[in-house]
Amino acid sequence: RLTAISAFVEWVSEVASFAEPIRVLVTGAAGQIAYSLLYSIAKGDVFGKDQPIILVLLDITPMLPVLDGVVMELQDCALPLLREVIPTDKVEVGFKDLDAAILVGSMPRKEGMERKDLLKANVAIFKTQGEALEKNAKKTVKVLVVGNPANTNCLIASKSAPSIPKENFSCLTRLDHNRARSQVAIRVGVPSDSVKNVIIWGNHSSTQYPDVHHAIVNNHGKEMSGFDAVNDESWLKGDFISTVQQRGAAVIKARKLSSAMSAAKAICDHMRDIWFGTPDGEWVSMGIYSTGNSYGVPNDLMYSFPVMIKNKTWKVVDGLAINDFSRGKMDGTAAELVEERDTALTFLGA
């Protein structure tokens, strides 16, 4: 038996040595989210244990000395799947021949800055990055936007890369999804993997709607609805929603820094599901292009829906019953996204 196992291990390592490396870009690569993210990508937690990686690390010029330190640490990890690390401040280098792009870097909101000023600064960044994707990346590239305002930044990037399918762009609401799942699990007293099919609708902002109307909880061996398992409707429609909506601000207040470890984990979850698909009967939340959806969400937004993924292609979970409470919440977050989009588009041609 030991001989068979060692032969299998040898075969896996041979497969890994012959597989073509994929090129994965992380922007904002000198920042704290990337610092929590890069090791997981490089060791095979995201794209597979037999998939060699070329990591491309993009950041602004003043951050290049910090980036050099990150490169040294990645080298010092001696990870067998990591074939090359390319640090750069040039978009034409960063976006060349990409298989996956994780766009973490964005302009953060500074004290006294109005939301429209934040949008204007980020439109310029994500227009440039979208154009770089259009010109340099593979047309099959999968693009995940993390930098906030993530939904609208994602929309601008996709509009600036018209020859890359809109379906290849998504933005991160998996962190919110994980937060919702965890809050229900803590309340019921079960592990987080006993909770599935929560939904984040809409914007990655304080208007998002964490929805448990279709969630299923394995409550100590008995499957039941999220509402029955929690058995506290006022909490589910009140404090639960506000806790998930405000969790990022609560982390900043406690740590004096924004979420990094949990954000990196969510990025890994999101990209791994794109690469390998979602389990049968389960869905996850992703910000995706809204045109053609069956839930009455306005077209031409990046809006978070429940999706199932197979063969690197997402499909919105259709046919879920939407009650009046949910409808109001879904419409409210859509209205914010329409306003963000319309403001951002005024800057796009500038």
What count of Cα atoms within 13 Å lies in the side-chain half-sphere of residue 305? 25
Tell me if 203 is assigned to a ligand binding site. no
Residue 179 annotated as part of some ligand binding site: yes
Q: Is 220 a residue of the active site?
A: no
Sorted by where each starts, the structural domains of the chain and their CATH numbers stand as: 20-171 (3.40.50.720), 173-346 (3.90.110.10)
247 is in an annotated binding site: no
Residue 24 burial (CB count, 10 A): 23
To the question of whether residue 272 is assigned a binding role by annotation, the answer is no
pLDDT, tens digit only, all 350 positions of the chain:
666 666 665 655 555 456 899 999 999 999 999 999 999 999 999 999 999 999 999 999 999 999 999 999 999 999 999 999 999 999 999 999 999 999 999 988 777 777 788 889 999 999 999 999 999 999 999 999 999 999 999 999 999 999 999 999 999 999 999 999 999 999 999 999 999 999 999 999 999 999 999 999 999 999 999 999 999 999 999 999 999 999 999 999 999 988 999 999 999 999 999 999 999 999 999 999 999 999 999 999 999 999 999 999 999 999 999 999 999 999 999 999 999 999 999 998 75
48 annotated as ligand-binding: no
The active-site residue out of 177, 204, 214, 270 is 204
pTM of the model: 0.93
**Helix/strand/coil percent split, the chain, to 5:** 50, 20, 35
Q: Does the annotation place 109 within a ligand binding site?
A: yes
Q: Is 168 marked as a binding-site residue? A: no
Q: Is the dihedral of CA 273, 286, 131, 148 positive or negative?
A: negative
Which residues have a Cβ under 8 Å from the Cβ of 283 and sit 6 or more positions away? 197, 199, 306, 307, 308, 317
